[in-house]
Structure 1
Amino acid sequence: MKKILLSGFIALSLLFTTTSCDSDDDDRETVITATDLPQTASTFITTYFPNATYQVIKKQDKPDADGSIYDVYLTNDFEIDFDANGNWIDIDGNHQAIPVELIPEKISIYITTNYPNQFVTSIDNEKTFIEVELSNNLELVFDLQGNFIRIDK
């Protein structure tokens, strides 16, 4: 009988522990309009994606680890994350080519030289490195100066 009570107590303790650690309340996001985006982000979108319109724009209550706070989804299937000042952090083309002018020149030269038949489909401007994904799904990591570091696994 003691084993049954002890097992029941442990099961209830685990249940309460896991539900009390739920972090959904910490990551709240709200849908906003284009007028609520920082001007820098709006200008970026109209400059590099002039034919796309906004599908959904979400603002998080607190930034992600990479600093992004705005998630912008465009009708051309591009997803762009911006920080609180409207600077882009991530651009995901969903298997479409990222505009070449958004790729740092040194990285673009490296890719053209070493992967001539590929194009960049995603670029992440992290705090300490830049990661690009190529059309063959290969992920390359560069330092902030555009020097190749490694192929990401």
Structure 2
Amino acid sequence: MKKIILTGFIALSLLFSTTSCDNDDDHESVINASELPASASAFVTTYFPGVNYQIIKKQNQADADGSIYDVYLTNGFEIDFDANGNWVDIDGNHQAIPAELIPEKIQTYITVNYPNQFVIAIDNEKTFIEIDLSNNLELIFDTQGNFVRIDH
């Protein structure tokens, strides 16, 4: 009787473990640059001229931040766009984000308070903007560019 129960338990455990594993690759696909929304392509061309696409992934459903397209550039930058081609976040992988992409009020705050630092990532969330500085400090601003807090 113990063998039957143990065998049943092992079989159920194997069944649950194999069906609970979800492959993320089923939720995204690699696409060509021509399949990006025109505004996303224009953004890359404008702010990263001469840089090539390394890989572009399109997700079947949006992330919590609204991003659908994950664009990886050959210079190490990753840019996430929503379904309309608006950028949601930009990660420079420890490289400076182009200054013209940072709201002026936020750039002024950083220049005054962190003069030796530069922005390496920017997250444009629905209710706030998160900035990562080159010293790994994360700053939170409201959508109008007012400093809110340092994120820990």
TM-score with structure 2 setting the length:
0.90
Structure 2 unaligned regions, length at least 5: none
CA contact (8 A) 1:59 1:71 kept: yes
CA distance in 1, matches of 2:126, 2:16: 34
Q: What's the secondary structure of 2:58's corresponding residue?
A: strand
User: What displacement does 1:9 show?
Assistant: 4.1
Residue 27 of structure 1: CA displacement?
Answer: 5.0
The Cα of 1:83 is off from its aligned counterpart by: 0.5
Distance 2:146 2:16 in 1: 46
CA distance in 2, matches of 1:151, 1:23: 35
**What whole-Å deviation, never above 9, does each CA across 1:34-92 have from its counterpart, x for those lacking one?**
11000000110111111211111111111111111111111111110000100001101
Q: Aligned pairs, how many?
A: 152
Could you tell me which residue of structure 2 aligns to residue 119 of structure 1?
A: 118
Q: Counterparts of 2:141 and 2:13 in 1: how far apart (Å)?
A: 43
Mapping of residues 1-153 of structure 1, within 5 Å: 2=2, 6=5, 8-24=7-23, 28-153=27-152
Cα distance in 2 for residues equivalent to 1:150 and 1:14: 46
Provide the aligned C-alpha RMSD in A: 1.8
Residues 92, 73 of structure 1: CA spacing in aligned structure 2 closer, same or farther, 3 A cutoff? same
In the alignment, structure 1 segments of 5+ residues that lack a partner are: none
